[in-house]
Amino acid sequence: MTRGVDEMTRSSVQITMKQHVKDYMSIYIFVSVILLFGVVFGAVIVNSMNVSQKQDILSFITHFFGQVNNEGYINGNEVFLSSYSTHLKFLALIWILGISIIGLPIILILLFMKGLVVGFTVGFLVNQLGWHGILLAFSSVFPQNVIVLPLYILLTVLAVQLSIRMIRKQFIKNDNEPIMKQLMSYSIVFCLVAICLCLASVIEAYGSSYFLKAISEIIVSKN
C-alpha cells in the first residue's frame, strides 16, 4: 500500500515538473542563454587581461596551494559553512527579488554574474596551468556546479515568472487571480532547493577539497 502511494506521488511530481518545464520552456531557454553568456564572458575576460594581472592572480593561487601543502589539510567544516551560507544568501536575495516589481533585471544580472565567475575561474585555470588547470577545474569546480547551476536556473525561472506576474497584477487591473497559492509554491520550492544546495556544499567541502589537496602539490612544483 505504502509503495503504491509512493509511486503515485512520484508520478504526480514528475508530471507536474514536466508540465512546468513545458509551460515555461521559453523562459528556461532565455535564462540558460544568460548563464551561458556569463560563462563565455568570464572566459573572454581572462584573455583580455595583461600579463602582470595574470601573474598577480597566479602568484596568489600558488601561494594558496603552498599553504595547503604546508598545513596538510583544508578545514572542510569552514569550507562547508562558507559555501552554504553563500548559497543561502543568494537564495534569500532571489526570493525577495522575485516578489518585487523591480527585481526582474537584477535577477538576470545575478545569474549572469554567477556564470561569469564560473567562466573566469575555469578559463584562468586552463589558460595559466594548461592540463593541470583542466584537471583542477574538473575536480574542484565542476562537481558542485553540476548541482548548483541547474538549481540556480530553476530559481531564476521561478523568480522571473513570479516577478512578471507581480508586474502584470500591478498594471493589469483585471488580473484578479489570487497570487498567494503561487507564492506558497514558490517558497516551498526555494526551501527544497536550499536542501539540495546543502548537498552541493558538502561535495565542495569534503569532495572537491580532497582533490584540491591532491593536485596542489603538482601545481606548486610546476611553478
Look at 15 and 13; give whichever has higher pLDDT. Answer: 15
Phi, psi of 191 (to 5 degrees): -65, -40
Query: Of 126, 148, 146, 153, nearest to 137 (Cα)?
Result: 126
Given a contact cutoff of 8 angstroms between Cβ atoms, the answer to whether 147 and 199 are in contact is yes
Q: What is the arithmetic mean of pLDDT over 1-28? A: 68
Say whether 3 sits in a helix, a strand or coil.
helix
Look at 1 and 63; give whichever has higher pLDDT. Answer: 63
Reported as a pLDDT band with limits 50, 70 and 90, residue 17 is: confident
CA 130 to chain centre: 25
Write down the pLDDT at residue 59.
77
Q: What is the arithmetic mean of pLDDT over 8-31? A: 76
Could you give the C-alpha distances from 24 to 5, 161, 162, 219, in angstroms and in order? 29, 8, 12, 44
Q: What is the arithmetic mean of pLDDT over 138-161? A: 89
The pTM (predicted TM-score) of the whole model is 0.83
pLDDT tens digits, residue range 24-66? 889 999 999 999 999 999 989 988 888 787 787 777 776 666 6
pLDDT tens digits, residue range 82-141? 889 999 999 999 999 998 878 889 999 999 999 999 999 888 888 887 787 788 788 778
What total number of domains does the chain contain?
1
- Domain encompassing residue 186: 2-222
Write down the pLDDT at residue 23.
79
Write down the pLDDT at residue 112.
95
Write down the pLDDT at residue 5.
44
pLDDT tens digits, residue range 183-219? 888 999 999 999 999 999 988 888 766 676 666 666 5
Indicate the Cα dihedral angle 83, 86, 92, 93, nearest 10°.
Answer: -150
